[in-house]
Structure 1
C-alpha cells in the first residue's frame, strides 16, 4: 500500500503592502504623518492623544494628520479598541513600496513629495539607530552582543547591485517567516536598515 504524499506546507502569509502612487504619496509626504504611520505600524493601535504624547505633539495636530492619513487609505478605525468616545486608529498596511518613477514624474509637486518622503525615511533610520545607541546600556547583554553597524564597499554594475538588493531582501523575508510569536520571552522588534547606493570616488 502506497503511503499518501504529505500535503504541502501552506505558503507563509505575505505582509500587506501599499504601493505608493502620485496621489497617495502627496497624502503621506509630511514629517508628522510619516511618524504617525510608523507609530501605528510598529506600536499598534492608538488614539490621537496617545500618539500626541508619544511624539511630543498636540492632540489637535495628531487628530488632523490622522484624518488625512485615513482619507488616503493608510490607516483605518480600530473600533475593537474603542473605549468611550475616543477614536482608535490602526495601520491599514504592514509595509510601503516606493516606485522610483515618482522621482522623475512630470509633476514637480510629485517629485518634491517623493524627495521629502525619502529624506524623512532617512531621518527615521538615523533616529532609530541613535535611539538604540543612546539606550543600549538599558538592554540585556544578549542584545548588546548581537546588534550590527557595518558597511561594505563593492565594485558592482547596476545589474549586480539589483541582484544583491533582491538577495538581501529574500534573506530578510526568510526571517520574517520565522518571527517569534507575540509575547515570547526575550523577543523584541528588530529593525533592519539596508542602504545600497553608488559612491562618488573623486
Structure 2
C-alpha cells in the first residue's frame, strides 16, 4: 500500500519521474505513525505548505507541540523547510515530493513494529472517512452537484490474483485521468480525491 496522504493505503502507482518512490522501513514508519503527525502530514499534502502557527490553528493544538512534530517529520524525511520563505521565527514547511510506499507484509514478523503498523493503518482509514464526511457536509452547486460518487460492490467472488488484477485495472483508469505535472488545469477544475478500498471479507456463519 502507498501511504496517505499520497497519503500515505492505496494500490501502488507506476513510477513517475517527478515523484520518486520511497519504501518505508521500520524507523521511518514509527516516525510517521502518530495521530497528530499524520494529521499534519495530511494537511501539508492536501493544502500545501504551511507554518506551525497555521497548522496549530487548524488542528486546535499548541504551536509548540506542532513545531515539535514538524521537526520530527522532517527528521524522518517526510517534510522539509521551504527555503526562501518565512523567517527564523516563522518557518514554512512542505511535504517532500516522494511517493511513500508501505508494504505491511514486510513487518509481519517484526513484533517491535506491529503496533506502529496497526496505528498507522487504522489512522489512515480514519483520514479516508473524514474526507468523505467533509465532502458530504459541504454545499455544492451547479455542475458539481452529483459529480462525486460514493459506491460499493459486494457481489464479487475473486481469487487473490483476480483481486490484484482488479486493483491494477482501477489504478490504470485513475492514471488515464491524471494530468501531467506541467499540464495547465481548466479554470473550473478543483482538486479531486479518489479513494480505493478493495479487500476480501471472510465468510461469516449465519447460525
- The match for 1:117 is 120
Displacement of 1:182? 6.1
- Is the 1:48–1:88 contact (alpha carbons within 8 Å) kept by the matching residues of 2? yes
Q: Which residue of 1 aligns with 2:77?
A: 73
Partner of 2:109: 105
1:104-161 CA-to-partner distances (Å, cap 9, x unmatched) read 032x2311101111000000000000011111x2x22311221010011211000000
Between the two proteins, the alignment pairs up a number of residues equal to 189
Whether 1:152 and 2:153 are equivalent positions in the alignment is yes
SS in 1 for 2:93: strand
Change (3 A) 1:109 1:182: farther
Q: What is the CA distance between 1:176 and its match in structure 2?
A: 1.6
Call closer, same or farther: CA 1:12–1:25 in 2, change over 3 Å: closer
Give 1 or 2: higher helix fraction: 1
Measure the CA separation in 2 of the matches of 1:95 and 1:105.
24
Task: Give me the whole-angstrom Cα distance separating, in 2, the residues matched to 1:180 and 1:189.
Answer: 15
Q: Could you tell me how far 1:181 is from its partner in structure 2? A: 5.0
How many angstroms apart in 1 are the aligned matches of 2:55 and 2:186? Answer: 25
Cα separation, 2, equivalents of 1:53 and 1:183: 30
Tell me the equivalent position of 1:164: 166
Measured in 2, the distance between the counterparts of 1:177 and 1:183 equals: 8
Map residues 5-154 of structure 1 onto 2, 5 A cutoff: 13-83=17-87, 85-106=89-110, 108-135=111-138, 137=139, 139-153=140-154, 154=156
Specify whether residues 41 and 17 from structure 1 end up closer, same or farther in structure 2 by C-alpha distance, changes over 3 A only: farther
SS of alignment partner, residue 85 of structure 1: coil
Q: Flag structure 2 segments of 5+ consecutive residues without an equivalent.
A: 1-14
TM-score by length of 2: 0.83
1:174 is matched with 176
Q: CA RMSD in A?
A: 2.1
How far, CA to CA, are the matches of 1:52 and 1:122 in structure 2?
22
What is the CA distance between 1:185 and its match in structure 2?
A: 2.2
Instruction: State the Cα deviation string for residues 27-69 of structure 1 (Å, max 9, x = none).
Output: 0000111111111111111110011111221111110100100
Q: Which has the higher contact order (CA 8 A, sep 6+)?
A: 2
SS of residue paired to 1:127: helix
Select 2:194's aligned residue among 192, 195, 198.
Answer: 192
